[in-house]
């Protein structure tokens, strides 16, 4: 089998069974379970001695990044919503199996005070911080702007965007030259869906935040970059992110004709965290199955 064929057939490409969970969703209860690289990611000492805080680290993309960072040699603080304890403990188990520290920080990143506390607790336990992955995200599908509540609007922006401001404000006095900040934006920033008005707007704002902050922090030698995923099979999608009727064909409209798995994102975050990307800042990397960002 050629390398090309192996890659095309490595991940799930069939229809997804309809399934609905209450927000924020537990990935351990999904069918099929998202692949976060638990069995596949192999580290190569790219992040030895690094101390990373990752938000939304219990499941999905955040979990894939957490596992990869630990296998690359980093200690990791895992931020997640308190009801996600089960997924968070699973993630911590994979990190501890590498011999690295996994610190659990449950709480609501939509709360400014919590964001400050989270940064200070992480830095105290890990002995400093040099890598921030701002990945927590809130997505609720809503067909019409007429039905969009102010509560949802505020929640989307608090969690997706304002948490990034608050977390970076708290972390800035701690971060040293060489530090790396990575945000998770979305293909939605470039090609917004009709039913994801608030979410897409928040992700476009994250793109601008990433680019502006990259320029602002370049003189401090702190790099800031973003990752823009396409459709990825995660709990976010089955906990209100998509209409149930769209679940079976989720991701099938990409040129690769399938959704991605969180594991397929991890290497990009590792690259952006590591010194190998020392001349890269204020950039957004797309991982979209071919629905390119521009």
Instruction: List residues binding ligand NAD (CB under 6 A).
Output: 24-25, 27, 56, 58-62, 80-81, 84, 108-110, 135-139, 159, 184, 186, 229, 231-232, 234-237, 262
Residue 167 beta carbon to Mg ion: minimum distance, rounded to whole angstroms: 18
Residues between 218 and 237 with contacts to Mg ion, criterion CB under 5 A: 235
Which residues inside 75-134 make contact with Mg ion, applying CB under 5 A? 84
Q: Which of 248, 184, 245 shows the shortest CA–CA distance to 32? A: 248
Order of strands, sheet of 51-55, starting from the edge strand that comes earlier in the sequence: 102-106, 75-80, 51-55, 131-134, 180-184, 223-229, 284-287
For residue 97, the Cα-to-chain-centroid distance in whole angstroms is 22
Residue 272, token pair as written in the block: 């952006």
30 vs 46: CA distance, rounded Å: 31
139 binds Mg ion (CB under 5 A): no
**Residue 108 contacts which entry, ligand NAD, Mg ion, none (Cβ below 5-8 A, type-dependent):** ligand NAD
- Select 109 or 217, whichever has its Cβ closest to ligand NAD: 109
Q: Which does 157 bind (CB under 5 to 8 A by kind): ligand NAD, Mg ion, none?
A: none
Tokens of 46: 């790219």
Q: Indicate which of Mg ion, ligand NAD, none lies near residue 289 (CB less than 5 to 8 Å, by partner kind).
A: none
Both tokens of residue 189? 């920033």
- Which residue out of 16, 81, 190, 199 is catalytically annotated? 199
Is 41 a catalytic site residue? no
CB of 280 to ligand NAD, least distance (A): 20
Indicate whether 246 belongs to the interface with Mg ion (CB under 5 A).
Answer: no
Cis omega (within 30 of 0) on the bond before 24? yes
Q: Of 267, 263, 275, which is closest to residue 131 (Cα–Cα)?
A: 275
Residues, the chain, total? 294
Q: CB of 150: closest distance to ligand NAD in angstroms?
A: 17
Active site residues: 199
């Amino acid at each position: 089998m050629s390398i090309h064929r192996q890659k095309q057939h490595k991940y799930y490409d069939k229809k997804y069974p309809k399934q609905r969970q209450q927000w924020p969703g537990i990935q351990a209860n999904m069918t099929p379970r998202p692949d976060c690289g638990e069995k596949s990611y192999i580290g190569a000492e790219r992040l030895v001695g690094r101390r990373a805080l990752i938000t939304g680290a219990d499941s999905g993309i955040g979990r894939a990044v957490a596992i990869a960072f630990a296998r690359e040699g980093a200690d990791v603080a895992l931020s997640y919503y308190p009801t996600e304890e089960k997924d968070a403990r699973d993630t911590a188990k994979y990190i501890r199996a590498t011999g690295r520290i996994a610190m659990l920080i449950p709480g609501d990143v939509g709360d400014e005070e919590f964001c400050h506390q989270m940064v200070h607790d992480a830095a105290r336990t890990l002995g400093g911080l040099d890598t921030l992955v701002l990945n927590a995200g809130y997505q609720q599908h809503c067909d019409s702007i007429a039905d969009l509540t102010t509560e949802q609007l505020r929640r989307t922006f608090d969690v997706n965007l304002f948490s990034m401001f608050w977390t970076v404000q708290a972390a800035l006095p701690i971060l040293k030259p060489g530090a790396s900040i990575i945000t998770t934006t979305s293909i939605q920033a470039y090609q917004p869906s009709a039913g994801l008005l608030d979410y897409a707007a928040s992700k476009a704002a994250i793109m601008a935040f990433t680019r502006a902050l990259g320029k602002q922090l370049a003189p401090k030698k702190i790099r800031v970059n973003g990752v823009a995923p396409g459709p990825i099979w995660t709990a976010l999608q089955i906990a209100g992110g998509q209409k149930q009727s769209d679940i079976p064909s989720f991701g099938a409209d990409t040129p690769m004709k399938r959704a991605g798995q969180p594991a397929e994102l991890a290497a990009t975050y590792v690259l952006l965290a590591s010194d190998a990307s020392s001349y890269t800042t204020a950039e957004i990397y797309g991982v979209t199955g071919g629905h390119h960002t521009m």
